[in-house]
Structure 1
Amino acid sequence: MRTSTSDSKAGGRDLKAALVAEAREAGFDIIRVVRADAVPEAPGRLREWLAEGRHGSMGWMAETEERRARPTTLWPDTRSIVVLGMNYGPDENPLDLLERRDRAAISVYARNRDYHDLVKSRLKRVARWLVGATGADVKVFVDTAPVMEKPIAAAAGLGWQGKHTNLVSREFGSWLFLGSIFTTLEIEPDEAHEDHCGACRRCLDACPTQAFPQPYQLDARRCISYLTIEHKGHIALEFRKPMGNRIYGCDDCLAVCPWNKFAQQARESAFHAREELRAPLLAELVAFDDAAFRAFFSGSPVKRVGRDRFIRNVLIAIGNSGEVALVPLVLARLGDGSPLVRAMAVWALGELAPGEARNRATDALAHEDDEGVREEWQRLS
């Protein structure tokens, strides 16, 4: 979003108070401002993280490193960044669902509408107001853009980056969606927030796959959110049991944060869980073809992973369920058109009915031409 006006200086309290009021009216729960150069350590940390390969197959992280590292590289005219947070706190503890092994656990943020769409539309509303009030140039970003939102948000004072690398807020715990408005205005900045994690390591200890090599560092390659959403191939054997019934994302490190005791349920109804996504039955999900998958997850971010990766994840959950009654549904997926699905159907069958799996292995190997699926059968033969 651009205007023809050149840079302006507007650090007055009246403007800032009006900006905060407009943002709250638009639905944001917290708003802070930071200078564009407020996170000088970010480029070095990003470079080290990428060099260690901890971004996994997320190649765009490396491709956009230069623009991601510094806001002024992304847009040289940036003087201030308005960082806004929208609370998506759940109305129940998402970890309770992990005990219901016949049900699918979907991350809290994905149980209703895609937050990118909602947050961006609200950001644009605030940005339009700022342009109208000052004539400044602005650009809006949600997390699909190459912006290091969490360190920027911490520098702005929305909270601090916890040991799980996510933003923690004293008012909203670990449940904040972030968006930002880059502007040519020089707005009075807010102060960075102190780190209040102390000696606590609940988030680190809660991780089922030990994805944190040390506090404040994440190896995405071991993270269940990465594995179930970003990873396009077969999921390594070592991660399948720890996944449990988590079929899309993982809330464990977020949900155990002690600061969540101050969190509130999201006031935005679009972030309240759709009833059919609270605890869907694995038996129903695994039968989805592409059309049924798209219809069921209409408007949800889950739809972006595609049917095949989704059923891959569901079959891992079924293999972990102990529900022998689900074996006929697993058998039906052995002939699926997707190798991702067939491979995890083999694994799930081996977990629930190992004798049946061994009996089928020799014949299956004679007809299977995908190497990944063959490896699963060979493990059983």
Structure 2
Amino acid sequence: MAENNRPVPVFDGHNDVLLKLELESRTVGERDFLTRSQRGHMDLPRCQEGGFAGGLFAMFVPSNPGNDFSKPFDPRDPANYAPVPQEEALGFTMRLLRRAFQIERRSLGEVAICRTVDEIEAAMASQRLAISLHIEGAEAIDTNFDALETLYAAGLRSLGPVWSRPNDFAEGVPMTFPASSDTGPGLTDAGKALVKACNELKILVDLSHLNERGFWDVAEITDAPLVASHSNAHALCENARNLTDKQLDAIRETDGLVGLNFHTAFLRADGGFSRDTPLIRIAAHAAYLIERLGVDKVALGSDFDGCMPPADLPSVAALPRLIETFRSHGFDEDTIQKLAYKNWLRVLRLTQS
């Protein structure tokens, strides 16, 4: 435990709770994020219990935004990877953005949407949940970037050009095992312009979900650190969503960062979807990434409410178990603090400067 018996604070690189709340509203009914629940992985009381102090909250548009989502996501169904028209994607993104602002307003000061690292640090210091807004897959962005400017004004500070499907900007990498992420062409001309526009606005460009050629295109264009918010080491799990040693070396050279994903299929050497995955697998990926990148360039990117985490990590309330696993794996307290929150704040400040 941290000082004053509080959990070590965690600033996390990726969660899908805004989407989770939206989909639940269409199936099992509305849920108040500010009230403890057994649904999903996150709500404010469980965040406070587990030391989840803030993170990048994703706004992701599924391929079937008009459906009722009564059926579980089937990764083998091509319909789940179909393109989404820009206007439809923007409308869905605005609903998720509205949810974030409603959470902030209704929390009466317990939640803050933060636009700078100084605001994140102030929120964490005062025990408020710090939300930094992220777009996963840029379908909502038009190629003139009118929507990008507007969403930036609303608080957008991080953007992944693609999810695991193609769009106007790039090719997404399929979530396949065992496989390489070298699956197709790189950034389109619009994608290259999007990276430059994000650099100008100081919006972090997230490389998770981008295929390998797109990764190298960003590396050639960007003037910011290379960041993959929720990916693991391909050397330990050969899922196409994970990063090769060559990619990790490029991230290290730009003073970037990798956020550890808790999804079991990205952790296990057999690529299996199994909750019976020990937390030591997360620690093993952390150790590998630290050895390859350095201790200042590895953080957490849980993918809570968008993944299948190990059984011992059923929600944000269980994050202290992961911290204890890091300790038992030999990580010292300085390393743990960096993994938990300091490294994300470092790279966000670099990106925004």
Q: Above 0.5 in TM-score?
A: no
* Structure-1-length-normalised TM-score: 0.27
* Structure-2-length-normalised TM-score: 0.28
Larger radius of gyration: 1
